[in-house]
Amino acid sequence: MDEADCGVSVLPKERMNPESPAWHKPVMVEEVLRYLNLRPGSTVVDATSGTGGHSLAILPHLLPNGCLIAVDQDPKAQSIARQRLIEFQPSVHFASGSFRNLSQILSALHISKVDGLLLDLGMSSLQVDSPERGFSFLQEGPLDMRMDPTAKMTASDLVNTQPEEQLLELFSQLGEERFANRIARHIVAARRAVSITTTTQLAQIIVQALPAAARRGRLHPATRVFQALRMAVNDELGALSALLSQLPDLLAPKARAIVLTFHSLEDRPVKRAFAQGEDQGFWKILTKHVVKPSREEVLRNPRARSAKLRAIERC
Ligand SMILES: C[S@@+](CC[C@H](N)C(=O)[O-])C[C@H]1O[C@@H](n2cnc3c(N)ncnc32)[C@H](O)[C@@H]1O
C-alpha cells in the first residue's frame, strides 16, 4: 500500500470524546469503530468528515504512523474539523471536494489503496441548523441547500425553472411524496406571481398545496420535498453511486468500508452494491442484517433514529 507521509502525533485527551460539545453529534460511533477494526499505522478515509466527530474518534486508533484523510465538500464544516483535529497534525490530511472523486483525491496524496473507509451520508447539524444555508423549512433563509457553495445550482434555481412534470418526478422519486402532483402544480402557479427564494416561502406553498388532513401528519408537510430538493441540488445519489463503483479498487486486502445511511433511497443502492460486490468476490459483507443505533443513542441523539449501518471487508 502506498502511504502519504503522515507522521506521528500526540493524543489530546480533551479532544477524544466524540460526545463533547460539538456541531454535529457523530452517529453510532462505537459501532463504526468496531466494524472499522482499526490498527495503528493504517490509512483510513473519512469521506464525509463534516465537523470531524467520527474523525476525532478514529484518529487515536491509527497512531502511531497511521493517517486519516478527511474529505468533505463543505468548506465551513471542514474549517471546524481542521480546528478540532489540529493536535493530530501531521496525521490528518484534509481534502476539500466530493467523495465522487475519491480516487483522484487519493492519487493527489500518492495513496492508491486504503485500509478503512467511512461514509456518513446526509447533512450535518451544522448545515441544517444554519438558516443561511437554506436546508431547513423551520427557519427563514435563502432557498439554497448547496453543501458545496461553489456548485452552480441552488434549490431556488430548481423550483423556479424546472417544468411542472420534472418537479413532480423529483418530489415523487427523491422525496417519495404522495402529493407530488399537487405540490408541483402549486409551485408552478405560485412562481408565476413571484420567484420562490426563501425556505419559509416554499414551505408555505407546500402546506397550502396539501389537503387539510395531510397537513397534520407526524412529519412536517415540507419534509419530503425539502429532502428531494437537497438530494437533487447535491446530486447525492449520483455521488454515492460513483463512490460505490470505486470501492473495489480503493480498498486494500482486509480493508473495511462502513456506510451510514438515513433513508431507504440511500440504503438501497448500498445494499445492492455490497451484495453485487460479494457475488463478484470483491469482499464479504460483515453486516448480514443492517445495524441500527441503540435505544439509548436515539434518546441521547434523536437525529440518529433512522441511521442504518452496513459494513464490508475486502477479500
Ligand atoms: C452526516 S454529515 C457527517 C458528519 C461527520 N461524520 C461528523 O461526525 O461530524 C455528512 C457530511 O457529508 C458531507 N457530504 C455530503 N455529500 C458529500 C460528497 N459528495 N462529498 C463530500 N462530502 C459530502 C456533507 O457536507 C456533510 O458535512
Q: Is the peptide bond before 149 cis (omega within 30 degrees of 0)?
A: no
pTM of this prediction?
Answer: 0.93
For the CA of 148, the nearest atom of ligand 1: 25
Listed in sequence order, the residues at least 6 apart from 272 whose beta carbon sits closer than 8 Å to its beta carbon are none
Residue 52 Cβ inside 6 Å of ligand 1? The answer reads yes
Any atom of ligand 1 within 6 Å of the Cβ of 26: yes
Q: pLDDT for 245-276, tens place per residue? A: 999 999 999 999 999 999 999 999 999 999 99
For residue 51 and ligand 1, the question of a CB distance below 6 A is answered with: yes
Please report how many Cα atoms fall inside a 13 Å half-sphere around the Cα of residue 246, on the Cβ side: 21
Residues in the chain: 315
Q: What distance in angstroms lies between residue 126's CA and the mean position of ligand 1's atoms?
A: 10
Residue 187: which of 163, 211, 169 has the closest Cα? 163
Q: Which of 31, 1, 17, 19 is nearest to 294 (CA)?
A: 31
Closest CA to 126 of 199, 210, 26, 241: 26
Residue ranges of the chain with pLDDT lower than 50?
1-22
What's the pLDDT score for residue 23?
A: 67
Query: Domains along the chain?
Result: 13-126+236-314 (3.40.50.150), 152-233 (1.10.150.170)
What integer pLDDT is reported at residue 217 of this predicted model? 80
Over its C-alpha atoms, the chain yields an Rg (Å, rounded) of: 20
Q: Is the CB of residue 80 below 6 angstroms from any atom belonging to ligand 1?
A: no
DSSP E strands: which ranges in 58-101? 67-72, 92-96
pLDDT digits (tens, 9 = 90+) for 41-98: 999 999 999 999 999 999 999 999 999 999 999 999 999 999 999 999 999 999 999 9
